[in-house]
Amino acid sequence: MLTAVRAAARGAEDPWWQRGDFAPLRTETTAERLPVEGSLPKSLSGLYVRNGSNSRNAHWFIGDGMVHGVHLEDGEARSFRSRFVETKLHATGASLGDAGPPQLDDGYANVSVFHHANRLLASGEVGLPWELSPDDLSTRGLYDFGGRLTTSMTAHPKIDPATGQLHFFGYGFLGADALTYHVADADGALVSSQAVAVGQTTMIHDFAITDRDVIFWELPVTFDLEALPTGIPFRWHPEYGARIGIMPLGGPTTAIQWVEIEPCYVFHGVNAYRTGDDVVIDVCRHEKIFDPGVTDSGELSLRRWRVATGGASLRFSEEIVAEADQRGDPGELPTRDPRLVGRDYRYGYLLRSRTRRDGGLVFGGVVKHDFRRGTRETWDPGPGRQANEFLFVPEGRGEDEGHLLSYVYDADRKRSDLVVLDATDVGAGPVATVELPTRVPYGFHGTWVPDDG
């Protein structure tokens, strides 16, 4: 998901995803009344929870899902819990793909966690999501929207801030379910499932919406059975081509239009919106990914894609918004104000990293990117400390009025903290730091569950 994704080095001992704070945890932790340095905003009343992978051996991406949550209330850190997502793979110790292409009840549920219609769901790259209890993060079981969801659900659903609808997709490995687009209403009922016609299964990790569009990027990382023993059954096949598809929000999928682009890979979009006949899509663009024998993904850049929809066919253009500099890459694992998903926006918040010679990652701090002025404000946690993805929690009316939350690992203490930044003044550093009783391994995506809903 960042700048150094590669297949496991056969015969190598202790690869980077088994060392330091990448290493998996074996036990769960519960703690109450956590120490706080600084002042926690009393307006932050809810649960911050983030998912991640406890890799057994194959790759950082391949491991049991584990969620880590801190409950904040009335200026205090009331509790901390880390819990495994009790998937079938976790219960049996099996690995994805042991018995062939994954089934719906397979999956690690290790990538994201999200909250919609009063349900807390953990999701991975493939398989159905798993429902968790927001009270203690215990696993309630597989969740299939009352039997209506019959395909996988990937890890990056989008909630339309105007309607409360949940838009998401899933892909399968064989037959007609190569890509399916779904919509659930604000109450959580699945109301639409529509197949999207594609050439074959590609790894589509994320997508985007605007107030009236759905945007898919189909890029040349295709399903490859020969790669299944590595745990990641995908390979870089640039000959497949790359394209962006745009269709009406809610469908029909038969109305999708495609425009070709240069081969690349995008794990994460920052946001997308419409301006007249143009669809603007901001993405974290990698040169390539999962290329056999290549130790990293090449250049990572922040790019603005623009697709003109006003003519007989789509027209594509792009600009480089930010590139790597002496402090690291331009940022990945982005977040933005959830009230502006699919709308014109100004700020994105990204995690910086650097790539080591062994292909491993060194994380840094946060970049607040101003897409209107082209300026960047940064905060770095300091020597020996590495942040994770930052989550924006809105509080005021202004777009950046809110707080950024992230787990930060301290290598000297071998423990992690929850840091809280004022998003209007990122460079000032944490307004509060919550000391955790254990480390939280570097992971992926989180969410905020407010106490009032």
pLDDT one-digit tens code per residue, 400-417: 999 999 999 999 999 999
Q: What is the DSSP letter of 369?
A: E
Nearest Cα to 331, choosing from 355, 300, 375? 300
Q: Which residue has the tokens 């589509």?
A: 204
**pLDDT at site 176:** 61
**pLDDT at site 3:** 36
**pLDDT at site 1:** 35
Summarize pLDDT for 120-156 with one digit per residue, the tens.
999 999 899 999 999 999 999 999 999 999 999 999 9
**pLDDT at site 8:** 38
Residues of the chain scoring pLDDT < 50 = 1-12
CATH superfamily, with its number, for domain 16-450: TolB, C-terminal domain (2.120.10.30)
CB atoms within 10 A of CB 175: 7
**pLDDT at site 295:** 58
The pairs formed by 140-145 with CB atoms below 8 angstroms and a separation of 24 or more are: 142/105, 143/119, 144/104, 145/184, 145/188, 145/189, 145/190
What does residue 266 show for φ and ψ, rounded to 5 degrees? -130, 115
Cα distance between residue 380 and residue 326, in whole Å: 14
**pLDDT at site 100:** 66
Nearest Cα to 285, choosing from 315, 242, 344, 338? 242
Whole-prediction pTM: 0.94
Q: Which residue has the tokens 């105007």?
A: 162
Cα distance between residue 136 and residue 83, in whole Å: 8
- For 167, the token pair is 């838009």
**pLDDT at site 296:** 61
Cα distance between residue 72 and residue 45, in whole Å: 5
Q: Where are the domains of the chain?
A: 16-450
CB atoms within 10 A of CB 39: 10
Cα distance between residue 408 and residue 50, in whole Å: 12
Peptide bond into 252 cis (omega under 30): yes
Summarize pLDDT for 196-244 with one digit per residue, the tens.
999 889 999 999 999 999 999 999 999 887 776 666 788 999 999 999 9
